[in-house]
């Protein structure tokens, strides 16, 4: 069954090579089908985004552009067609030569849409929530300057896990399991799982290992006092907020999910195999 598509939003990282050419191709293609299209640049993040009557969004760039798009579009339940303008990312499965085929197959109901868990992150200070964020990949608590060990107290909604002395901690979604968390030794999860990862960064105590918890769990990270450095919270590597001693940061599953269109050319595990150079032989 054909999907109803009357208006398309094109979210683009204009720093990518060929971005303007791909935009022109998409707008001309959509125009021939009487589909409206609008452009929103990642550089216009302070500009109000009009999602009225938007049925589909193109994300033109890399994984970072998808993260940016997901935070904007998830509350509106708008599916994202991620088109990679560089090397294949873990999220951007569609190449710049495949977008026509992907669009047509999505339009005719032949491509599915994956639902990716997002996290809601709130900073509590003196009993009040001072700011909140939504992220698709992860939230990271770390030193603001030169790397120094920080002291964090981590709890679940019903259990105190204890004190963590480390360079910081990563709270990652399954989508974010292939990003910073993987580089820090965390497990890789299927991106459509309902789970979260607690991953200490270079912990002082080797018994502090990465932990996978259920998606409906709540994670609390309390900033210890008498830190040797200032700390920051970073969401998806794109939003930054300074933290203070005794702040409590709550991580929980967001109500909305990122809707990301699958590719029929390759799946997550094929991308994983390629990106991580799994040979499958004796040298793997």
Active site residues per annotation:
63
The Cα–Cα gap between 155 and 74 comes to 28
Question: 3-state class of 66 per DSSP?
Answer: helix
- Other CB atoms closer than 10 Å to residue 29's CB: what's the count? 16
262, 103 contact by CB (below 8 A):
no
142, 166 contact by CB (below 8 A):
no
Q: Which residues on adjacent β-strands are paired with residue 121? A: 133, 251
Question: 3-state class of 241 per DSSP?
Answer: strand
Beta-sheet pairing, 231-235 with 150-156: unpaired
Distances from the Cα of 186 to the Cαs of 5, 74, 154, 177, in angstroms?
39, 26, 17, 7
């Amino acid at each position: 069954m054909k999907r109803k598509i009357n208006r398309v939003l094109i979210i683009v990282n204009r720093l990518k090579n060929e971005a303007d050419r791909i935009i022109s191709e998409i707008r001309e293609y959509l125009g021939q089908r009487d589909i409206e299209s609008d452009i929103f640049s990642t550089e216009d993040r302070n500009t109000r985004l009009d999602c009225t009557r938007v049925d589909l969004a193109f994300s033109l760039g890399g994984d970072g552009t998808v993260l940016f798009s997901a935070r904007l579009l998830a509350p509106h339940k708008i599916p994202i067609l991620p088109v990679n303008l560089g090397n294949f990312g873990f999220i951007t499965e569609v190449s710049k030569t495949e977008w026509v085929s992907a669009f047509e197959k999505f339009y005719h109901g032949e491509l599915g849409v994956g639902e990716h868990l997002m996290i809601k992150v709130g900073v509590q200070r003196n009993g009040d929530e001072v700011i909140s964020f939504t992220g698709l990949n992860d939230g990271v608590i770390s030193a603001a300057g030169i790397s120094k060990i920080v002291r964090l107290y981590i709890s679940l909604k019903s259990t105190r896990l204890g004190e963590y002395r480390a360079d910081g901690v990563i709270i990652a979604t399954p989508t974010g399991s292939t990003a910073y968390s993987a580089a820090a030794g965390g497990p890789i999860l299927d991106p459509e799982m309902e789970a979260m990862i607690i991953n200490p960064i270079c912990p002082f105590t080797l018994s502090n290992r990465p932990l996978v918890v259920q998606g409906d769990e709540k994670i609390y990270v309390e900033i210890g006092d008498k830190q040797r450095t200032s700390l920051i919270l970073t969401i998806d590597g794109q939003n930054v907020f300074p933290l203070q001693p005794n702040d409590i940061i709550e991580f929980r599953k967001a109500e909305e999910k990122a809707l990301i269109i699958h590719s029929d050319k390759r799946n997550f595990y094929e991308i994983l195999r390629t990106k991580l150079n799994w040979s499958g032989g004796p040298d793997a």
